[in-house]
Amino acid sequence: MSKTLVYLFDPLCGWCYGAGGPLPHVLESTGLALRLIPTGLFSGSGARVMDDEFAAYAWSNDQRIERLTGQTFTERYRDQVLADRLQAFDSGPSTLALSAVNLTSPEREFEALKAIQAARYVDGQDVTRLETLTAVLVNLGLNAAAERLTRPDSALLQANDDRVGQGRTLLGRVGGRGVPTFVLQQADDALRLLPASAIFSDPQAFIRELNVGVKP
């Protein structure tokens, strides 16, 4: 039977960036398809200003993620993103960019997510700016998505709203708490909430958990 690993995420979630390290190996080992659904956790009412207290909290958390996963959080990110008091903590633009990719090249959405995360956490770029995100997409050869993002139309905005709404509904349906949340979906639409912490502490245990949940 066809089965899918549903990944509920936010592009500005540090733990989601951390999950991007082991996730390709998980997919290769299980043969699962991946479906990304944003939850908009840090957009809209979830967005906030970047003040000293929040920046210090974020950096401390990021260092823990790096120790657990090996994913890099650079000093450039610390200096140019966390220290920038004019740059909001707002995942809305990045989420919109990924929705543009989903509409035009859905099979490359995970690749685009990783590129946006690297632009922020490694290169220290401001991924709250559409110009930055457009450049990231162009660099990947996702020109159609970049064009959609440059001039967001009602279709893109509606698709983005629908995806975020779907993500929030599914998160509540399975009893997930925040992001990242991973859900195993069978062809009959049966859903199983997975222990996301295992992908960080013991990816092989996460793989075994996935294999247990897969129906023959």
pLDDT in tens, 85-110: 999 999 999 999 999 999 999 999 99
Which of 212 and 97 is assigned the larger pLDDT? 97
Nearest-CA neighbor of 28 among 213, 216, 210, 212? Answer: 210
Cβ–Cβ under 8 Å, residues 2 and 34: no
Structure tokens given for 2? 């066809």
CB 28 within 8 A of CB 5: no
181-186/3-9 β-pairing? antiparallel
Give me the pLDDT at residue 214, please.
57
Which of 1, 28, 73, 8 is closest to 203 using CA atoms? 28
Can you give the pTM of this predicted structure?
0.96
The total of structural domains in the chain comes to 1
CATH of the domain at 102: 3.40.30.10
User: Domain limits at 206?
Assistant: 3-213
List of residues 6+ apart from 53 with CB closer than 8 A: none
- Mean per-residue pLDDT for 1-10? 91
CA distance linking residue 14 with residue 77, whole number of Å: 12
DSSP calls for 48-90? B---HHHHHHHHHHHHHHHHHH-----HHHIIIIIT-TTS-B-
pLDDT digits (tens, 9 = 90+) for 142-195: 999 999 999 999 999 999 999 999 999 999 999 999 999 999 998 788 999 999
Q: What CA–CA distance (Å, rounded) separates 67 from 166?
A: 32
Pairing of strands 33-38, 3-9: parallel
